[in-house]
Amino acid sequence: MTDFSIFGSKLCDGSGIEELMHDLGNALSSGGDDIKMLGGGQPGSIPEMNAIWRRRMEEIMETPGEMEAMVGNYDPPKGNPKFIKALAQLFSEKLGWDVTEKNIAITAGGQTAFFFLFNALAGRTKDGRRKKILLPLVPEYIGYANQSVGDDFFKAVKPKIEKIGEHQFKYRVDFESLQIDDDIAAICVSRPTNPSGNVLTDAEMDKLSALASQHNIPLIIDNAYGAPFPNIFFADANPLWNENTILTMSLSKIGLPGTRTGIVVAPVRIAEAVASMSAIVGLANSSSGQYIMEPLIRSGEVLTLSNEVVKPFYLEKSDKAQQWVSEFFDDSLPYRIHLSEGALFLWIWFEDMPVSSKVLYERLKERGVLIVSGSYFFFGLGDTEWKHRDQCIRMTFTMEETVVKEGIRIIAEEVKKIYGK
């Protein structure tokens, strides 16, 4: 028998995110046509973007020394200097952020960035306190949930729910319930939010940023789907960065998840800390995404691609998925879709559903449809009683139309049965 350490017992025995990635990877590699994979965060396959990646790979192969440098060299732990320079220029020139190369560090995907940041800032401190990460609004990204190497360190706050019309709703930060005491190490939000597709408004972000500054703690913004790239951002809102912000980005959702490239834009001390952790954990990061993307960042082409290809692609997918929901879901069913303001998912709430979302997940799995039970996204609330936690599902709309449409038809059929309609 293997006896794991405390660290081991936290990380070695599975998690919601592992189950999700396992289902996703298996369905993609061997699922065949029968599985309707609406479960993971797999970005869609966009022909125009695939053509760009192919072009870049050819350019790398044809440029003397480029391929050899990409696969044959270790980058510095902080990331590839040319890539970082191009990013700093893009952020300062195009977005007006006061950012230099010193503010940027690369990681093995956004997921790794969060593991580093959360564990560096929260958890047991030298003076014996247990610092926490405040999630001002849950549901929040499942991938954060199991990342603590020590005690659980999330403290989450229930949102206000604004019902919109017959079949829509939006979460809003409940500022009255937001308490920031001495044990809060940082505030964290994903924007657009995975799973709900919510985009916190500019006013909400300004308020959170002001609160963070007032308490001298950072505001961590997970910008995996946000602007300026991949810009899967449908709401009328703006990206935010200031000296008190830790912004994470990723090359995954623009179409390069296999390269595992995350970007942290942060105060210099934090960017240095991230580089230090990269060196200890992995020496350096994968270079391929940085090589593929660098000229596109330097020329600004990444902005045109994000605005004119990636965003319209997902906006259309979201619109179609919503149309199929209203087509297949009986109007008398008490369902509500969260406003789809960004990211890759529809988040559907079945008010007063007679079974839990986990049961619904199992029933759908038996019918070949993989979704994610919403319950996984409500961590950090302790034992708070809240029926809503078990009444939501997340479905991804990035797959081929036939898969998404048939998946939604089957979800509607099962839900009707559950409500006895």
Residue ranges that bind ligand PLP, judged by CB under 6 A: 41, 109-111, 141, 143, 190, 194, 222, 224, 250, 252, 257, 262
How far is Cα 296 from Cα 60, in angstroms, rounded to an integer?
13
How far is Cα 390 from Cα 396, in angstroms, rounded to an integer?
18
Q: In whole angstroms, how close is the CB of 38 to ligand PLP at the nearest point?
A: 14
Place of tokens 């991938």: 143
Q: In whole angstroms, how close is the CB of 14 to ligand PLP at the nearest point?
A: 18
Q: Return the number of other C-beta atoms located less than 10 Å from residue 242's C-beta.
A: 13
The nearer residue to ligand PLP, 167 or 342, going by C-beta atoms, is 342
- The residues, ordered by sequence, that sit 6+ positions from 87 with a Cβ below 8 Å of its Cβ are 104, 263, 265, 297
Q: In whole angstroms, how close is the CB of 199 to ligand PLP at the nearest point?
A: 12
- The residues, ordered by sequence, that sit 6+ positions from 10 with a Cβ below 8 Å of its Cβ are 146, 148, 149, 150
The nearer residue to ligand PLP, 343 or 353, going by C-beta atoms, is 343
Alpha-carbon 345 to chain mean position: 11
Instruction: Output the 3-class SS for 230-277.
Output: CCCECCCCCCCCCCCEEEEEECCCCCCHHHCCEEEECCHHHHHHHHHH
Q: In whole angstroms, how close is the CB of 382 to ligand PLP at the nearest point?
A: 23
Residue nearest to ligand PLP (CB): 109
Q: In whole angstroms, how close is the CB of 153 to ligand PLP at the nearest point?
A: 17
Residue burial 252-263, b: 16+ Cβ < 10 Å; e: rest: bbbbbbebbbbb
The nearer residue to ligand PLP, 17 or 60, going by C-beta atoms, is 17
Q: In the numeric block, which tokens belong to residue 210? A: 């002001």
The nearer residue to ligand PLP, 228 or 262, going by C-beta atoms, is 262
The nearer residue to ligand PLP, 152 or 222, going by C-beta atoms, is 222
Q: In whole angstroms, how close is the CB of 261 to ligand PLP at the nearest point?
A: 7
The nearer residue to ligand PLP, 224 or 296, going by C-beta atoms, is 224
